[in-house]
Every structure is written in structure tokens, then in C-alpha cells.
Amino acid sequence: MAERADDRDGLRLDRLHVPLGPALVDWPAGLVLRLALQGDVVQQVGVESALPASPHPPFWDEPWLRAVAGERVPRGDAARRLCAAHLDSLGRFFAVAGWAAMAARARRVRDSALAGADAAELSALVRPLIRRAERSRALRWMTAGLGPLSAEHARHLGVTGPALVADGDAYSRMLVWLDAVGRSAAACDDTDVVDAAEAVGPRGRIDGPAPPSRPLLNALPGLLEGTEFACARVIVASLDPDLDELAPVPVTGAAHG
């Protein structure tokens, strides 16, 4: 649907209302963004979630949810899940940035992590992937400066995960994932027990007042409004909210949306 409205330069342009999601390739499952566009600039953003209730806890948060519920969970299990989760996010990030070969590579290593590769094998797989991503000038050129989110504003929104640590743009958030992938791959044989007081999953604390993906969704309008349409998917991919966290689940002690 089109209508007329002033754009940021005071010109009268058609305003188009465009939905994104919930079934796009390389898009967070269940997420719907309703964008108002003038030309190629995003003027307004509405965020909706379209995920049905699930009888299962969110897959990527499962080790920390078990720890919060009182179960003795090896740190290696949590590290392996964290490594795989960030590789899954990196696969989407590389894909929307147009780097299909690296997206496929990240997903192959993710599958190896989930299949039980030991620390030495997994580290040997992630090191060259990290090195190549960090050295890519094209990736940096395409993603640096997009969706800047300061640590102060992230903290105000309630963000507790990589987006808070990054204290920067889409490229900075990707670097935080890469660093976490390297460290968690090396730790996936750790037999010590997860401390329930340190229940920090791939997207942040899972024992807070809201699931960690909720503040990421709340951040999206502010990050997307005023940006070019072509950049919107990169910004969404750099946050990669997990809407499974927002579905009601029958787990005692877990945070629900």
C-alpha cells in the first residue's frame, strides 16, 4: 500500500508499507517487521512475533536453563552449544552480507560442533574461519557503521549479551561472535559444572526479567529507522534475536516472554 508523506529532506514521496518475514531465507524464524519506506529509506518499523507456543525450551539456551533449574551441567556442554549458536548466527550474517561460501562453511562447522567434535578438532575448524572473516576488507566495508548500538543504550534497553559487549555496529557485533566462537570451541571438553549464577546464553542472561531476545527486538526500530532498506537485513542479522525464547515453555525457573 502506498501513501504520500514528507521524507527526511522535506520532499513529498510515496510511502510504501512492506512486511519482512516471517518465512524469509536467512531470517530469524517467526519475526515479522512491518516497514514504512520512502524511496529506499526505512521511516518506521513495527516489530511482531509470529511463533506458536512450544512444548520445548529454546534449543540454544537449553544448557543454561537446565543449570538454573538445578541440574549439574558440564561447562563443556554449554560451551559447545554457545559455539554452535554463534556459528549459526554467523551463517545468517555472512549470507545476508552476500558471502555464501562463508555462510556454508560456518554452518558446516556448526554441525560438527553439534555432532560432538572435541575441542582440538573444533578449534582446528574455527581458527581459519575466524581468521578469514577478520581479514575480509569487503565484509568490513559492507557492515561497518550499520546499526550502531552503544553499550550505554544497550544497557538501558536491557541487552545483556554480545550486542552489549560489542558497544558498536554490525561489524563489531560479528567480531564479538568470532571471539566467543574461538574461546568456546577450546572449552567444549571442560568437565567443570556451569554456575547457575552465571547463566548467560548466546544472546544474554537467561535468568533476567525477560528473555534476552526481547531487548534485542526492542532495539530494532531505533536501529533500522533512517537506514537504507538494503542495510536492514544486515542489522537484523547482526542481532539475530531468537524468537523461540519468547514462546511459553513449561520449564520451572526459566524466564518467559
- Give dist(CA 201, CA 86) in Å, integer: 10
pLDDT at 33 over 90: yes
pLDDT score for 10:
57
pLDDT score for 248:
63
- What letter does residue 51 receive in the DSSP assignment? -
Name which residue leads in pLDDT, 253 or 158.
158
pLDDT score for 14:
72
CB atoms inside a 10 Å sphere around CB 126: 26
**pLDDT tens-place string over residues 106-127:** 999 999 999 999 999 999 999 9
Answer for the pair 14, 48: CB distance below 8 angstroms, yes or no. Answer: no
pLDDT score for 137:
97
**What pTM value is reported for the model?**
0.90
**pLDDT tens-place string over residues 204-221:** 999 888 999 999 999 999
Residue whose C-alpha is closest to residue 30's, from 256, 241, 248: 241
Answer for the pair 255, 210: CB distance below 8 angstroms, yes or no. Answer: yes
**pLDDT tens-place string over residues 166-197:** 999 999 999 999 999 999 999 999 999 998 88
Residue whose C-alpha is closest to residue 183's, from 89, 254, 78: 78
Distances (CA, A) of 19 to 2, 23, 31, 218, 236: 13, 11, 10, 17, 14
Answer for the pair 82, 201: CB distance below 8 angstroms, yes or no. Answer: yes
